[in-house]
Amino acid sequence: MSTTGKVIVTIAPTGGMASKQQNPNLPTQPQEIADDVYRCYNAGASLVAVHARRPDDLATCNPEIYRDINARIREKCDIIINNSTGGGINGDMVRQGPNGYPEIIWEERLKGMEAGAEMCTLDPTTIVANFEGREILMNTSPERCKFLAKEMQKRGIKPEWEVFSPTHLLQDVQACLDAGLDTKPYFVNFVLNAHRGFQGAMPYTPKILQQMVELMPEGAIFNVSAIGIAQLNAAVQSLLLGGHVRVGLEDNLYYSKGRLANNVELVERIVRIIREFGLEPATPAEAREIIGLPQLKVKSAA
């Protein structure tokens, strides 16, 4: 269990794949996202993983849209803001590549760093995603991993290392750490049960998560994102292993079998479980201390 007694609850409200057709509770537009995040913050979330969407709800990393979302969130609360450099599977993010594969556009992904977020996701993975009957290439080569990490470091952005398998952790993340491209504590997010859609991803089982935790570099802390039905079980195991948790419609559209979820009730449920374990959800200030982020400057009264 957490040595501090505090657990960082990440809310992932939107993502770059799901649609309102799949779950009408999915927030996609800036004010919708900000309002939903504020409700989740009040329920106990201390970090938000933000994906941007265009006005037509398709995926984008447009920095102006990110800035709009970030500003609306910050007007309401001090939750940690983490913008995606993964993007999504449609909209601005995909084009037909010269090798015959639709490809998630590298140049568009880089725009996720341009909106002033405290953290950004860094996917140290080259994968083929299988969605909507298409195989979509996401090329994050070793040099691209290092480039992303260097650019985040220049901007004072803390990377959230998105790890889908042990190889990503032991090879790609470790190479960046060996190059001095992040500082302790390293914030590692284990993404499990994405194997049906992402080649190279791992299913969730207790043994697999245990192994991933045991393979972490010294000085790392971890969070767990499990997709679909595995979300709740993996979150509980993360608590038992001393980790942090992530919930939200990006990863799981359902509260229980056959019943669509909303983001707030997913946060409320995991907070109840955290407290049943004798732990407490971290405040954003406590989460910044755990992750090693600077505290927000408090605006002085006029």
Per-residue confidence band for 301, with pLDDT thresholds at 50, 70 and 90: very low
Average pLDDT over residues 154-182: 97
Please give the span between the terminal C-alpha atoms of the chain, in angstroms, as a whole number.
Answer: 43
Average pLDDT over residues 175-196: 97
> For residue 297, what pLDDT is reported?
83
- Find out whether 48 and 83 touch, Cβ atoms under 8 Å: no
Quick one: what percent of the chain has pLDDT higher than 70?
Answer: 98
> For residue 132, what pLDDT is reported?
80
Average pLDDT over residues 42-55: 98
pLDDT in tens, 84-113: 999 999 999 999 888 788 999 999 999 999
The overall average pLDDT reported for the chain is 95
> For residue 298, what pLDDT is reported?
64
> For residue 272, what pLDDT is reported?
98
Q: What is the pTM of this model?
A: 0.96
Output phi, psi for 145, to 5 deg: -55, -50
- Whether residue 10 has pLDDT greater than 50: yes
> For residue 100, what pLDDT is reported?
80
> For residue 1, what pLDDT is reported?
73
- Whether residue 302 has pLDDT greater than 50: no
pLDDT in tens, 69-92: 999 999 999 999 999 999 999 999
Quick one: what percent of the chain has pLDDT higher than 90?
Answer: 93
What residues does each domain of the chain span? Answer: 6-291
pLDDT in tens, 261-298: 999 999 999 999 999 999 999 999 999 999 999 999 86
- Whether residue 125 has pLDDT greater than 80: yes
> For residue 2, what pLDDT is reported?
72
> For residue 299, what pLDDT is reported?
59
Average pLDDT over residues 35-59: 98
Average pLDDT over residues 176-186: 98
- Whether residue 300 has pLDDT greater than 50: no
> For residue 237, what pLDDT is reported?
98
> So what CATH class is 6-291?
alpha beta
